[in-house]
Structure 1
Amino acid sequence: MILILSRPLKAIRTLAAAFAMLMLCAVSLPTAAHAESGPKSLLITYKSTAAKRPAFRQYLEGAGTQRFEALKKAGKIADYQFLFNWYNDTLTWDAMAIIQFKDYADVAEWKTLERTSPGGLDAKGLALGEPEITVSADLLWEDGAAAPRASGRVFYVIPYEYRELAEYKKYVDGYVIPQVQGWMREGILSRYRIFLNRYPVGASWDALFVYEYKDIDSFGKREPTIAKVREPLRKQPEWAALNAIKQQIRAESENVIADDLAGR
């Protein structure tokens, strides 16, 4: 289901962050580094037109994949994946590239590439689809292995914004992970990845869930499986407490159902 939201959580958090920054500057307190290293994931969304969508998909499956494979072979990226939206949806994206670097220093290589190939695309690719939003992210939760491509696996991508980072991490650990582990035990989900935006300011997402279902039949069983897994979890006080306040902790935005074009 597609859900369109305003961005109240982000607006409140941005105002709070600005006020906190003013207070810190006023008392001249030292600042701590956000993390020991910079983010090693880059997620780029691309937008095409209805008329160009078929050709853009073919490009990503062909020349686009060849370009990214060459970057991987040269050691400029550690891995990549192209996802393509099932539908011509004007509210979301047509394609997404999920790029991994072996270390943060390699991001500098990508910065150089962007000067001549925005979003990693050559002139032919840019004539078919343009990069819209690029997010530097941390892959903080991951489990499972990619299902065989021949199985017809389905990717379900869900963006969220959250109220506060530490609170959200506890929510994912205590509420989300017990559920997705249950879905994996039930046999419908083969892999999940949860990314956090390192710089969550502006119009992009704060957290992005990438669920990989084994096939379309497994994806069709999503709702009854959610209900089945939640039933025993409701008896656990910690999980039940988080369930009761989840709407205050995070807000869900437009979902995308997608295919994988990279042959993983």
Structure 2
Amino acid sequence: MASTQRRAVAKTYKLYVGGAFVRSESGRHDEVEGINYPRGSRKDVRDAVKVARKAQAGWAGKTAYNRGQVLYRAAEALESRAREFEGDVADAVDALVHYAGWTDKLHAVLGGVNPVAAPFLSISTPEPTGVVAVLCAKRDPLARVVEAIAAPLAAGNAVVVALPQDDPLPGLDLGEVLGVSDVPGGVVNLISGRQAELVPALASHRDVNAIVDLTGDAELAAQVDVFASETLKRVVRGDGGSSLARLQALTELRTAWHPVGA
């Protein structure tokens, strides 16, 4: 008698770039716990930065309230699929909700009217720094990856993430969550692969404006510092302190002077 059991369809992991699931251009892969995942290349990094740059202006152009709604929707989507992830994803969901609440408060907290001599009025307002590279440690948990993404998104930046080298599968699964949320394509890009290849490619790219370095690796940090100094990038290390400190590190203050009473 023929068995009625069927073999489950094997999952094929792909990179998440430009709102689409793509194979690495090199065709290479690595393996974790018997599961293959794509090994991203320098070309994949360049492709991801290109689409992030293109998407960033539209994301920054949304109202702060709308960006908060989108991050909250991403939190809803992640919580609805929490059972598909190993371990507790509550901290990751909470991080998205937390930064969703920050989006419409940044201008009030970081901006303001500056005390200057008459007859001028000086006003400062925060603006996103642009494209942010997130460099994960080799075994960062999902919650830390999500928080490192949520902070720059709340400030209006686009991100390109080098996922944890030894455990990238939760990050690649996160791409599937973002793909069904309202986050515009290209605003978040997730690349799996080897740190030795991805980190220099991201840190040296001239269209990356800031780097969040979570690697905790002294040798990689030295490389990042060299590349950042050559291309004038801001580097944020570790968790970056408080939520406000993380947000402030990924914004630029634009100050305008206006004559009054003249």
Same fold (TM over 0.5): no
TM-score by length of 1: 0.24
Q: TM-score, normalised by structure 2?
A: 0.25
Going by fraction, where is strand more abundant, 1 or 2? 1
